[in-house]
């Protein structure tokens, strides 16, 4: 994002300017229409009168109406951006509220405000880091106060009591307020960044889209407002129309002049105009250098002042060429050709002598945003037909218009649009030297004009990547034949199909898919009926086995899932479940996208419920893929018996046992002790109390534990050939451990995260989606593990199993928590709970030393109880250095039989050992 600065006063000024311009334009149109109504045939007789009425009608009802629409669109875009800017500014201005009462300010207050709206990524990050430091300082203060309270409590006797809580409690309360409110503040800053960035990008995109490509320069319409009565005989309008639109070229030019103009336009004589449209003439004229344009206009008989006026704008040039290319002119040219036995007849769109193909020139049926349709037969590739670059703009314009028609809200024009796209894309095929090519220059031009992210760009880009070889080669089989490219709808997107006969490629290719793409617009039209969901289409998409899917489909649906109410979420899951009571690969991957998006949104909004609900949905999908045969019923928030827990519960029906109570429950992120207690309670509920004594040998098959999911956040590429293969390229752990080991493991590893428990028939499920580890505990456990591995390698009897006892890293220890049949996990579990070694106590003692080292490395501003991975690495490195200097220090100070830093006999020497290690 970088730096964003928006002046709200200037934005309001621009909005008012557009509002004034829109109202003024509307007034001109209304006044002009009143004058037009007064221009009756009785008053304005003859051909000049008819032309004046016609041109004024077009001016008022087409050009000026279009101008009004453009001004209105721009005004609405500015108003929308202004509303978002006010909301962001007011949201930011109310940040002090967070520290006054601990509540998040409203982000929907759009009351007008002034000044600058500013956002700087670096400044925001620095602010959040500073606030985090303040939170850590507050945490340290609170910790120190608790230590002071403990010390004072120890000094108390029955006779001497201290009323220290009256001054320690306010300090702890204030410190806790800082800790809690810093989190809210940092979430608010993140949300502010997100909102301003979204405003900036949306405003820029919509402003660009609503700005006209060309701004015409018509005569000054203010003359219509000079008086109540317009004196049409003063010549203002007539002179303007005569100069720009009223030149009857076809009727005035001689045969020689027509031939000269055509020769200059197309750089050759005897041009066949039967297959050329007005657009072709426009493109040819606009691509000429200005000197040639002047020569053509002089040939038309125009004066110098008229030519200078026309050359000032592209719109004026288009107008003069449109007038030249009227039906009278084309009839005269065709008459000339028919009277000349040596001129070419209109038999083909392909000029074989030049090797160039002209643009398609089909009819122009209008329907909403529809585009002109052309016939779409397969192109016969028998002679060179490479498109001349001068025709690229015409083709590209038709392609983009047709693409826009496919993506609008009117399905009635889709068939016409696809015909146009088929014709324009097929035109890029040509045969040369026994090889079928696609014109790469034409393809790249169309991609550039369509713009990255558009439907057309994605289809052509994939076609280029997947099919085309060097220089656009498709096949070198060696014969001519018929070949075409066609587009058709497939689900929420469109596919590009190659059709070719055996002569040209060596095998019959019928509707061979070479590209597939979807956009936000195509997804919206497919999945929605206006503002309502099309549940039939959603069900069709979810239950399809076709692996071809665009990333945009996942993005659209995951965003909709994020915003659905609970009833729609339930309806979605019921629609997605197959007749075999399971879910497809594409739904499974959709849940991965939904999880990731919900996680980000939960952080931005500071609401765990958002992610917990998404996790509940993905748990339903992935569990029923593992245990199919259960009918999903609904999910509920904080069900009976679990009020105020923030949990979601999913209910199922067993079609073969309606008395079965089947469910899954997902809890928000919790600390290790809470996770362990919930698992133990869950296990006690489902196990016969008489079996508790034998719980250690409880059957491993009775509890399935999915301990960690590591999911992808983005999709690389547009086509995902198999959602299942994609998911499996990331770590997805499905492990089974004995009975209560999961709850104990949460404590062993200091795991924080989302707990999932449930019961489906005889399958009892307990899952932990890992969110964090206690880095200090992991570091101490790694030291304890490696210490015992060293003893085992030396032949000392320990509880560790296996033939080899490799040292492990902190990362390997973490991974063992979620690996199936992990020797590291089993050895760590035995060490932790061994009565002989008492690993838990040893870890606790090592943690004490690590905390002391951390306090020395980070004396101020760092919460040593919540170190991150890198900070813990520095503490571990210092611990290792201190262990290395320990033997020499003990020898120099006559301390015997001390092997570890946590030995009580050297507690008072730790500062000196730390200094020795720093100097070593």
DSSP 30-66: HHHHHHHHH--TTTS-HHHHHHHHHHHHHIIIIIHHH
Torsion of CA 240, 242, 243, 248, to 10 degrees: 150
Distance in angstroms (rounded) separating the CA atoms of residues 72 and 63? 14
Per-residue pLDDT tens for 334-389? 665 554 433 333 323 333 333 444 444 433 223 333 333 333 344 444 334 577 78
Span 597-626, average pLDDT: 88
Per-domain residue ranges of the chain: 6-210, 256-337, 384-517, 839-918
* Residue 1: pLDDT band with limits 50, 70, 90: low
- Determine the Cα–Cα distance for residues 313 and 698; give it in Å rounded to an integer: 86
User: Torsion-angle region of residue 251: left (phi > 0), alpha (psi -120 to 50) or beta?
Assistant: alpha
Task: Give per-residue pLDDT as tens, 808-837.
Answer: 999 999 888 877 678 888 888 888 877 676
CB 524 within 8 A of CB 538: no
pLDDT, mean over the chain: 75
The count of residues in the chain is 920
Across 173-181, average pLDDT: 86
Residue 808 structure tokens: 């492990």
Q: Is the pLDDT of residue 247 over 60?
A: no
Non-local CB neighbours of 109 within 8 Å, separated by 6+ positions? 86, 87, 90, 91, 94
Whole-number pLDDT of residue 505? 53
pLDDT at 374: 35
Give the residue-averaged pLDDT of 75-96.
88
Rg (CA), the chain: 38
Helix/strand/coil (H/E/C) assignment for every residue in 685-747: HHCCHHHHHHHHHCCHHHEEECCCECCCCCCCCCECCCHHHHHHCCCECCECCCCCHHHHHHH
Task: Please tell me the distance from the alpha carbon of residue 294 to that of residue 320, in angstroms, as a whole number.
Answer: 12
Phi, psi of 473 (to 5 degrees): -65, 135
The pairing of strands 356-357 and 379-381 is unpaired
Find the mean pLDDT for residues 553-567. 91
* Residue pair 604/560 in contact by the 8 Å Cβ criterion: no
The pLDDT confidence band at residue 502, using thresholds 50, 70 and 90, is low
| Helices and strands (H and E) in the chain: how many | 34, 19
Q: What is the pLDDT of residue 866?
A: 82
Instruction: Give the confidence band of 726 by pLDDT, cuts at 50, 70, 90.
Output: very low
For the ranges 134-138, 432-436, 792-796, the maximum mean pLDDT occurs at: 134-138
Q: How far apart are CA 371 and CA 238, in angstroms?
A: 33
- Whether 185 shows a pLDDT value over 60: the answer reads yes
Residue 303: predicted pLDDT: 67
pLDDT in tens, 381-417: 433 457 778 788 888 888 888 888 888 777 888 888 8
The share of the chain scoring above pLDDT 90, in percent, equals: 8
Q: Using CA of residue 374, residue 377, residue 381, residue 382, what is the dihedral sign?
A: negative
Q: How confident is the model at residue 569 (pLDDT cuts 50, 70, 90)?
A: very high
Does residue 572 surpass a pLDDT of 90? yes
Contacts of 648 (CB under 8 A, 6+ apart): 612, 613, 615, 616, 635, 636, 637, 665, 666
C-alpha distance from residue 20 to each of 24, 200, 327 (Å): 6, 25, 41
- DSSP readout, 637-653? ES-TT-TTS--EEEEEE
Residue entry with tokens 């503002």: 531
The model's pLDDT over 624-674, given as tens digits with 9 standing for 90+, comes to 888 787 888 899 888 888 888 889 999 988 876 666 678 889 999 888 878
Which pair of tokens denotes residue 549? Answer: 């899917």
pLDDT tens sequence across 445-495: 888 888 888 899 989 888 888 778 777 777 765 555 677 888 988 888 898
Residue 695's pLDDT band (boundaries 50, 70, 90)?
very low
Lowest mean pLDDT among 7-21, 299-313, 453-467, 531-545: 299-313
CA nearest neighbour of 449 among 486, 413, 398: 398
Please choose, from the candidates 214, 212, 215, 210, the residue with its C-alpha nearest in 3D space to the C-alpha of residue 80.
210
Tokens 């890293």 sit at which residue?
809
| Torsion of Cα atoms, 196 then 197 then 198 then 199, to 10° | 50
């Amino acid at each position: 994002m970088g730096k964003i600065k928006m002046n709200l006063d200037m934005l309001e000024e621009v909005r008012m300017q557009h509002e004034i311009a829109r109202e003024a334009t509307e007034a001109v149109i209304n006044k002009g229409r009143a004058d037009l109504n007064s221009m009756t045939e009785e008053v304005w007789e003859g051909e000049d009168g008819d032309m004046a009425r016609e041109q004024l009608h077009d001016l008022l009802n087409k050009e000026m109406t279009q101008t009004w629409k453009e001004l209105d669109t721009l005004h609405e875009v500015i108003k929308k951006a202004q509303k978002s800017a006010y909301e962001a500014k007011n949201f930011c201005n109310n940040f002090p509220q967070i520290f006054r009462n601990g509540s998040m300010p409203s982000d929907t207050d759009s009351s007008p405000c002034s000044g600058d709206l500013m956002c700087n990524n670096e400044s925001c990050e620095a602010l959040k880091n500073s606030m985090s430091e303040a939170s850590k300082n507050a945490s340290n203060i609170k910790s120190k106060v608790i230590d002071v309270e403990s010390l004072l409590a120890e000094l108390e006797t029955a006779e001497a009591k201290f009323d220290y809580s009256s001054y320690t409690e306010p300090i702890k309360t204030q410190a806790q307020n800082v800790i809690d409110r810093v989190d809210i503040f940092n979430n608010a800053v993140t949300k502010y960044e997100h909102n301003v960035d979204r405003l900036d990008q949306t405003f820029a995109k919509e402003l660009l889209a609503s700005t006209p490509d060309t701004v015409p320069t018509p005569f000054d319409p203010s003359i219509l407002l000079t008086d109540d009565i317009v004196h049409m005989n003063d010549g203002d309008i007539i002179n303007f129309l005569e100069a720009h639109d009223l030149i009857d070229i076809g009727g005035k030019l001689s045969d020689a002049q027509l031939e000269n103009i055509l020769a200059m336009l197309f750089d050759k004589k005897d041009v066949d105009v039967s297959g050329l449209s007005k657009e072709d003439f426009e493109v040819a004229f606009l691509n000429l250098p200005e000197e040639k344009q002047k020569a053509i206009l002089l040939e038309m008989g125009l004066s110098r002042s008229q030519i200078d006026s026309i050359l000032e704008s592209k719109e004026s040039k288009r107008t003069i060429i449109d007038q030249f290319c009227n039906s009278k002119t084309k009839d005269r040219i065709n008459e000339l050709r028919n009277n000349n036995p040596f001129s070419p007849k209109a038999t083909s769109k392909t000029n074989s002598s030049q090797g160039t193909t002209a643009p398609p020139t089909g009819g122009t049926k209008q329907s909403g945003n529809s585009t002109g349709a052309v016939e779409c037969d397969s192109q016969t590739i028998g002679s060179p037909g490479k498109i001349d670059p001068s025709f690229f703009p015409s083709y590209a314009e038709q392609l983009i218009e047709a693409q826009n028609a496919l993506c609008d809200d009117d399905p009635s024009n889709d068939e016409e649009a696809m015909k146009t796209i088929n014709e324009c894309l097929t035109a890029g095929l040509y045969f040369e030297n026994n090889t079928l090519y696609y014109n790469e220059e034409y393809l790249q031009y169309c991609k550039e004009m369509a713009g990255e992210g558009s439907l057309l760009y994605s289809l052509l880009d994939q076609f280029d990547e997947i099919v085309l070889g060097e220089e656009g080669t498709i096949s070198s089989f060696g014969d001519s034949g018929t070949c075409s490219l066609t587009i058709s709808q497939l689900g929420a997107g469109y596919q590009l199909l190659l059709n070719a006969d055996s002569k040209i490629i060596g095998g019959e290719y019928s509707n061979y898919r070479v590209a597939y793409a979807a956009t936000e617009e195509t997804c919206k039209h497919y999945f929605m009926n206006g503002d309502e969901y099309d549940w039939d289409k959603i069900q069709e998409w979810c239950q399809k086995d076709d692996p071809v899917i665009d990333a945009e489909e996942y993005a659209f649906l995951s965003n909709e899932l994020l915003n659905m109410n609970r009833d729609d979420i339930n309806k979605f899951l019921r629609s997605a479940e197959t007749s075999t009571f399971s879910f497809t690969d594409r739904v499974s991957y959709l849940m991965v996208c939904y999880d990731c998006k919900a996680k980000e949104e939960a952080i931005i909004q500071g609401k765990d419920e958002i992610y917990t609900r998404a996790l509940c949905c993905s748990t339903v999908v992935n569990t029923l893929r593992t245990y199919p045969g259960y009918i999903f019923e609904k999910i509920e928030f904080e069900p009976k018996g679990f009020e105020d827990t923030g949990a979601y519960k999913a209910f199922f029906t067993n079609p073969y046992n309606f008395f079965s109570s089947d469910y899954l429950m997902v809890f928000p992120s919790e600390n290790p002790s809470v996770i362990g207690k919930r698992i133990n309670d869950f296990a006690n509920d489902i196990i016969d109390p008489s079996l508790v004594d034998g719980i250690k040998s409880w059957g491993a098959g009775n509890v399935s534990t999915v301990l960690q999911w590591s999911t992808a956040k983005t999709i690389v590429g547009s086509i995902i050939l198999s959602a299942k293969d994609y998911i499996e390229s990331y770590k997805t752990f499905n492990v089974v451990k004995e009975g209560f080991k999961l709850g104990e493991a949460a404590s062993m590893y200091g795991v924080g995260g989302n707990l999932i428990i449930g019961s489906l028939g005889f399958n009892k499920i307990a899952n932990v989606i890992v969110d964090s580890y206690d880095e200090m505990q992991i570091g101490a456990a790694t030291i304890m593990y490696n210490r015992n591995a060293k003893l085992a390698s030396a032949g000392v009897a320990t509880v560790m199993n296996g033939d080899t006892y490799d040292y492990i890293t902190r990362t390997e220890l973490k991974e063992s928590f979620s690996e199936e049949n992990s020797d590291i996990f089993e050895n760590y579990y035995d060490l932790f709970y061994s009565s002989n070694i008492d690993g838990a106590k040893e870890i606790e003692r090592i943690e004490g030393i690590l905390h002391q080292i951390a306090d020395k490395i980070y004396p101020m501003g760092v919460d040593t109880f919540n170190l991150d991975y890198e900070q813990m690495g520095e503490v571990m490195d210092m611990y290792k250095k201190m262990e290395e200097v320990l033997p020499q220090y003990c020898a120099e100070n006559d301390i015997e039989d001390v092997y570890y830093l946590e030995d009580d006999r050297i507690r008072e020497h730790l500062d000196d050992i730390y200094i020795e290690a720093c100097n070593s």
